[in-house]
Amino acid sequence: MRLGVLDVGSNTVHLLVVDAHPGARPLPAYSHKVELRLAELLDEDGAISEAGVERLVHTLRDAMQVAEDKGVEDVLPFATSAVREARNSEEVLRRLALETGVELRVLSGEDEARLTFLAARRWLGWSAGRLLVLDIGGGSLEIAYGLDEEPDVAASLPLGAGRLTGSDLPGDPPDADDVRALRRRVRAEIARVVSDFTRYGTPDHVVGTSKTFKQLARIAGAARSAEGLYVQRELSRKKLEEWVPKLGGMSVLERSELPGVSEGRSRQLLAGALVAEAAMDLFGVETLDICPWALREGVILRRLDHLPTT
């Protein structure tokens, strides 16, 4: 069957269309993405602005039309931290349902961590052993650890690259004092949860998912996305530590000219790098692998798990 997963995230609204069957690997068929940056469309009270809601309505209508054009049988729509934490979240959800027919499922941060972990487990297989999965989104950082398909422990922290950029790094390039202050803040937040994970033992395998980790790996020398999903890509802490001060001294335009860095994400790259560096350091990770599957694939896999096999 052809499924669509509609991800209303802090940075983008992304419709991923896949051909999927129980027991088989979902095959990507089409991708439709709009950079909405919901996290930047909040008013001073933390509500999604009227302009933001109107853009969201228009974007969802377009995405559903694309899903219909591509022959999608079932669309799985969900929203993450930007909608979840907006002061007017319930009002926005009602309006979207009324004006677009899309009833968004709002995932909790722990839901995000668990579904991302499922995707990483299915991608890597049982031979990967105990997994530690790190995912840096626009609004939050998700961390999950475990041996099975359900993690033993999962956490979500308000350390998304978009959120931190908007709140803590206003300059272009940012002021060095602001960067140092954000570094301290990020490390303090992550340090509070490290013991929740380390008491389960040392992971056999550490993976990073999300656009932020992919872009950081690319500027550190990993293979281009054009070389395919199945090429192994790594990010070492040593190389990341070399890049963080470089990124701190660059303007948004200069970052956008780095290999693999999109113009829309270049502003957030420094904050994402600070979060990645802190997580790798505090969890004692020297090198992590980049996993191409993440939350959207986890949502699809969970849906397939509940389909009859005959």
**Does residue 23 register a pLDDT over 80?**
no
What's the CATH number of domain 2-106, 3.20.20.140, 3.10.580.10, 3.30.420.40, 3.40.50.1980?
Answer: 3.30.420.40
User: By percentage, how much of the chain surpasses pLDDT 70?
Assistant: 99
Q: What is the pLDDT of residue 193?
A: 98
Predicted TM-score of the model (pTM): 0.93
Integer Cα distance of 36 and 34 in angstroms: 6
**Does residue 310 register a pLDDT over 70?**
no
Token pair of 232, please? 């192994």
Q: Find tokens 């052809």 and name the residue.
A: 2
Integer Cα distance of 292 and 272 in angstroms: 17
**Does residue 20 register a pLDDT over 80?**
yes
Integer Cα distance of 34 and 73 in angstroms: 22
Q: What is the pLDDT of residues 221-230, one digit of tens each?
A: 998 888 888 8
Report in angstroms the alpha-carbon separations of 180 from 71, 250, 283, 310: 50, 15, 20, 57
Q: What is the pLDDT of residues 56-94, one digit of tens each?
A: 999 999 999 999 999 999 999 999 988 999 999 999 999
Q: What is the pLDDT of residue 309?
A: 59
Q: Tell me, what DSSP letter sits at residue 40?
A: G
**Does residue 39 register a pLDDT over 80?**
no
Domain ranges for the chain, please list them: 2-106, 109-295
Q: Give me Rg for the CA atoms of the chain.
A: 19
Query: ∠2-260-62 over CA atoms, to 5°?
Result: 35
CATH architecture of 109-295: 2-Layer Sandwich (3.30)
Query: ∠294-76-122 over CA atoms, to 5°?
Result: 30
Integer Cα distance of 274 and 248 in angstroms: 10
Do the domains 2-106 and 109-295 sit in the same CATH topology, yes or no? yes
Q: 3-state class of 288 per DSSP? A: strand
Residue 296: alpha-carbon gap to chain centroid: 9
Integer Cα distance of 154 and 113 in angstroms: 6
Q: What is the pLDDT of residue 71?
A: 97
Looking at beta carbons, which pairs linking 68-75 to residues 24 or more positions away fall under 8 Å? Answer: 70/2, 70/4, 70/17, 70/29, 70/30, 71/2, 72/2, 72/3, 72/4, 72/17, 73/1, 73/2, 73/3, 74/1, 74/3, 74/4, 74/303, 75/3, 75/4, 75/5, 75/6, 75/15, 75/102
Report in angstroms the alpha-carbon separations of 134 from 49, 192, 223, 276, 283: 31, 16, 20, 8, 11
